[in-house]
Amino acid sequence: MSERGDLLVVRDVVAGYGAAPVLHAVDLTVPAGTIAAVVGANGAGKTTLLRTISGVLRPQAGRIQLAGEDLRGVPVERLVQRGMAHVPEGRGVIGELTVDENLRLGGLWRRDRADAARALEEVYQLFEPLARRRRHLGHQLSGGERQMLALGRALVGRPRLLLLDEPSLGLAPRVVARIMALLRQLRDDTGLTVLLVEQNVRSALSVADQGVVMSLGRVVTSAPAADLRDDVDLRHAYLGF
Ligand SMILES: Nc1ncnc2c1ncn2[C@@H]1O[C@H](COP(=O)(O)OP(=O)(O)OP(=O)(O)O)[C@@H](O)[C@H]1O
């Protein structure tokens, strides 16, 4: 059973790309309706963790639960139907499709077509620049707009858990601030749960409820984000500021 109120539970997960694992017995718990930020040096295993949770990589050991349900052996498309959305590093926007077509991809699998259409309109209300560029091609967008598009596409599927890999990558601080504020708004207004991987430690810890520090494939600390922000020793040891 999952702990009460935890949407995502990761226990003793070992995973990687070949014989030698990248993740060594990773433990992580994300309560429903909260934002958790995974931070740590390059190569700590943050991206690998997200890819393992979203089913891109199969864990060699351990278990992962979403809302109390074991995800072992569940195909990726079923994970999406159960409420998981993964926005990978590099975002996966399709440059040859329009903004509207990219967004609709996020809801193609949904049986409730009326609600998929409603979700699409909500995304346009949330991201006004996308509404103005509905007919533009993906490759015509700025970096910030592409990030919005990738996020918007995930939201069209009305996920319960959003896995976000480096949403700030290559974006101006003003745009990063806007995206972080939006994550908070979604958490507060819709109860969305977010697991966020970020190099930009300051903005990640400023938006998150919980901070998870990874080093060499292990979780070294998991604590309220505000405590991590104020912990000078920990910041020096693992976060480089
Ligand atoms: N496709 C892959 N094949 C083999 N090894 C990989 C692959 N992707 C990552 N690795 C290795 O896994 C380890 C962890 O990488 P990962 O990308 O998960 O770290 P990260 O914390 O997300 O760092 P970064 O911020 O640099 O992406 C690294 O040693 C990396 O070389």
Query: Is residue 47 within 6 Å of ligand 1 at its C-beta?
Result: yes
Supply the pLDDT for residue 2: 45
49 Cα–ligand 1 center, Å: 10
48 Cα–ligand 1 center, Å: 6
pTM of the model: 0.92
206 Cα–ligand 1 center, Å: 25
**Domains parsed from the chain with CATH numbers:** 1-83+159-241 (3.40.50.300), 92-158 (no CATH)
Query: Is residue 42 within 6 Å of ligand 1 at its C-beta?
Result: yes
Question: By alpha-carbon position, which residue is closest to atom 26 of ligand 1?
Answer: 42
Question: By alpha-carbon position, which residue is closest to atom 16 of ligand 1?
Answer: 45
3 state SS for 35-52: EEEEECCCCCCHHHHHHH
Per-residue pLDDT of 91-143, as tens digits, reads 778 999 999 999 999 998 888 899 999 999 999 998 889 999 999 999 999 98
Supply the pLDDT for residue 1: 42
Choice between 1 and 103, residue whose per-residue pLDDT is larger: 103
ipTM of the complex in this document:
0.94
Lowest mean pLDDT among 49-58, 154-163, 210-219, 229-238: 229-238
DSSP the chain: -PPTTEEEEEEEEEEESSSSEEEEEEEEEEETT-EEEEE-STTSSHHHHHHHHTTSS--SEEEEEETTEE-TT--HHHHHHTTEEEE-TTTT--TTSBHHHHHHHTTTT-S-HHHHHHHHHHHHHH-HHHHHTTTSBGGGS-HHHHHHHHHHHHHHT--SEEEEE-TTTT--HHHHHHHHHHHHHHHHHH--EEEEE-S-HHHHHHH-SEEEEEETTEEEEEEEHHHHHH-HHHIIIII--
Work out the average pLDDT over 212-222: 94
